[in-house]
Amino acid sequence: MPETSRSILLVEDDPDHELLTIRALKKSNIVNEVRVARDGEEALDALFGPGAVRPQLVLLDLKLPKVEGLEVLRRIREDDSTRMLPVVVLTSSDEERDVVRSYKLGVNSYIRKPVNFTDFAEATRQLGMYWLVLNECPPLS
């Protein structure tokens, strides 16, 4: 049974978006450890593989190599041990079908990445404050 931590699993294949997200979280005084998976396969391994540690929150991009983000979300929701894990889609996709499919698969929130850094940093600050400070997560078994 994987242990649970107060970390964030950031699933992001774009190194610039990865750095922006981590920078925005730090600038907002979010001190939770951020673990990064750079493709869907790494994300699934981080959640289900040997030595897996359950994060407090998953920030999931949709357009990923190896295993797409929607498939990662589907696998998270079909497993009893991760079904209630908070997952926020953080993506540049503005396709309505991605929004609809994400919610049908059980995403907790869908956020389009703002284009400029100031807006992105503010969106990330609010996201961090809500999901990591205000929100009461269910216990994960």
Fold of 8-129: Rossmann fold (3.40.50)
Confidence class of residue 126 from pLDDT cuts 50, 70 and 90? confident
pLDDT at 96: 94
pLDDT > 70: percent of the chain: 94
Nearest 5°: phi and psi at 27? -60, -25
pLDDT at 124: 83
* pTM (predicted TM-score): 0.90
**Is pLDDT of 138 > 80?**
no
Sorted by where each begins, the domain ranges of the chain are 8-129
If DSSP codes are grouped into helix, strand and coil, which group holds residue 37?
Answer: strand
Give the C-alpha separation, 34 to 5, whole Å.
11
Instruction: Output b/e per residue, 55-91; b: 16+ Cβ within 10 A.
Output: bbbbbbbbebeebebbbbbbbbeeeebbebbbbbbbb
Q: What is the mean pLDDT of residues 67-76?
A: 98
Return the higher-pLDDT residue of 126 and 71: 71
pLDDT at 60: 97
- The pLDDT tens digits of the residues spanning 32-46 come to 899 999 999 999 999
Are 56 and 7 in contact by the 8 Å Cβ rule? The answer is yes
- The pLDDT tens digits of the residues spanning 100-125 come to 999 999 999 999 987 787 888 888 88
Task: Write the single-letter amino acid at 71.
Answer: E
